[in-house]
């Protein structure tokens, strides 16, 4: 009986020694692989809070014809005569990921309280261990729970929100879409204001140019005592031509009388009339050309001012037409946020993927262990022997 008891005691001691030897032998493996895996299994299996994911998709569209339709979902959505606003989509997604979106979201709902829920585990909720409660820290936390990007397959913008309750994930996603629609409307209003303001500025410039041209032309008329030198010169030329014709007829009459009746007493009177016509014709011509104050010297400056006034008036007409066009086009080219998939109210938690996370921790720890083991073996092989 005593021999049997002693034998069992020896077996237990031997097993204990073998276990101790195994622990000592594999202590580094257990420390760097077993312990992290055990911690991950405990955390993800028992502690980690369930995370619900709400997803929505949208596309930015504007009135217009689609040039080359295809079978992708984005083009099927846009097949109603609307074209995609890719630049506007990028701006909206950038906004969703920005600090401004977080501030606007905080004003609309207490999103900080949503992620500070006590039902969430101490590693998942905000603020995390060893982090402060500042807005910048919360912004980085927000970025890890809210994603916004373009799906390369469909071309649609995707917003994905993670939260600790289905309702919170849905509320945040819906609020972000509402804020995005507000941003698109503000971008539309801003573009419309810029287009109309630029067209109005051109109208104001054209009106000022017309006023300046009219003032300059009026001042020149008053300074030179003329109305329209071109029309006045035409009138003077007509009168001068008529008097030249009268003089030619009178000269012919004088020549005829001198040949037929050279001693006729009326010849002297006709010659006096000829001299008077010559003086009148010279005076008329002097009013047009030949002197610094003649109409010919004034026509150039007058025409320059008249052309400037006419051109300014045409510019004003064109600017007013452009203003009306800008107002019409601003209404036609508005962009719209079309919700393709509304935010869903998740039924089951998607995260954390517990088995996957535990396996990742195990695989990463195992890789690090083998790397450290190979480094240690290399060092021992190259160590000098005593």
68: Cα within 13 Å, side-chain hemisphere: 0
Give the model confidence (pLDDT) of 299-348 as tens digits.
667 677 778 888 888 988 988 888 888 887 777 767 889 999 999 999 88
CB 316 within 8 A of CB 210: yes
Phi, psi dihedrals of residue 126, rounded to the nearest 5°: -100, 140
E strands present in the chain: 52-63, 82-84, 146-150, 157-163, 336-341
What are the CA-CA distances from residue 121 to residues 115, 118, 353 (Å)? 11, 7, 15
Q: What pLDDT, on the 0 to 100 scale, is given for residue 182?
A: 92
Contacts (Cβ under 8 Å, ≥6 apart) of 162? 51, 52, 53, 145, 146, 169, 351
For the ranges 211-215, 229-233, 303-307, the lowest mean pLDDT is seen at 229-233
Pairing mode of beta strands 82-84, 52-63? antiparallel
- Share the mean pLDDT of the chain: 78
Q: What's the CATH architecture for 52-196+335-354?
A: 2-Layer Sandwich (3.30)
Q: What pTM was estimated for this model as a whole?
A: 0.62
Q: Label residue 11 by pLDDT band (50, 70, 90).
A: low
pLDDT reading at 5 higher than 80? no
């Amino acid at each position: 009986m005593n021999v049997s008891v002693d034998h069992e005691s020896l077996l237990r001691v031997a097993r204990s020694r073998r276990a101790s030897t195994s622990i000592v032998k594999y202590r580094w493996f257990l420390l760097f692989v077993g312990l992290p895996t055990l911690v991950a299994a405990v955390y993800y299996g028992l502690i980690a809070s369930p995370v619900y994911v709400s997803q929505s998709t949208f596309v930015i569209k504007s009135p217009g014809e689609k040039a080359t339709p295809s079978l992708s979902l984005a083009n099927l959505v846009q097949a109603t005569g609307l074209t995609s606003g890719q630049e506007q989509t990028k701006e909206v997604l950038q906004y969703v990921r920005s600090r401004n979106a977080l501030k606007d979201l905080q004003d609309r709902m207490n999103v900080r309280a949503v992620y500070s829920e006590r039902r969430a585990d101490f590693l998942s909720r905000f603020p995390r261990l060893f982090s402060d409660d500042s807005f910048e820290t919360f912004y980085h936390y927000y970025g890890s729970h809210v994603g916004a990007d373009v799906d390369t397959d469909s071309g649609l913008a995707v917003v994905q929100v993670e939260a600790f309750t289905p309702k919170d994930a849905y509320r945040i996603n819906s609020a972000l879409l509402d804020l995005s629609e507000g941003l698109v409307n503000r971008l539309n209003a801003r573009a419309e204001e810029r287009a109309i303001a630029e067209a109005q500025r051109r109208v104001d410039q054209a009106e000022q140019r017309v006023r300046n041209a009219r003032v300059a032309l009026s001042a020149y008329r008053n300074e030179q005592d003329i109305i329209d030198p071109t029309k006045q010169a035409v009138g003077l030329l007509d009168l001068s031509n008529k008097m030249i014709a009268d003089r030619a007829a009178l000269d012919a009459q004088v020549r005829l009388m001198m040949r037929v009746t050279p001693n006729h007493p009326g010849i002297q009177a006709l010659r006096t009339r000829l001299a008077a016509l010559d003086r009148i014709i010279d005076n008329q011509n002097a009013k047009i050309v030949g002197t610094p104050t003649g109409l010919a010297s004034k026509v150039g400056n007058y025409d320059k001012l008249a052309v400037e006034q006419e051109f300014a008036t045409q510019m004003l007409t064109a600017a007013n037409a452009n203003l009306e066009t800008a107002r019409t086009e601003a209404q036609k080219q508005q962009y719209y946020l079309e919700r393709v998939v509304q935010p869903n109210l998740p039924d089951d938690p998607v995260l954390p993927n517990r088995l996957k996370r535990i396996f990742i921790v195990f695989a990463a720890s195992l890789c690090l262990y083998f790397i450290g083991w190979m480094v240690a073996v290399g060092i021992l092989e190259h160590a000098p022997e005593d």
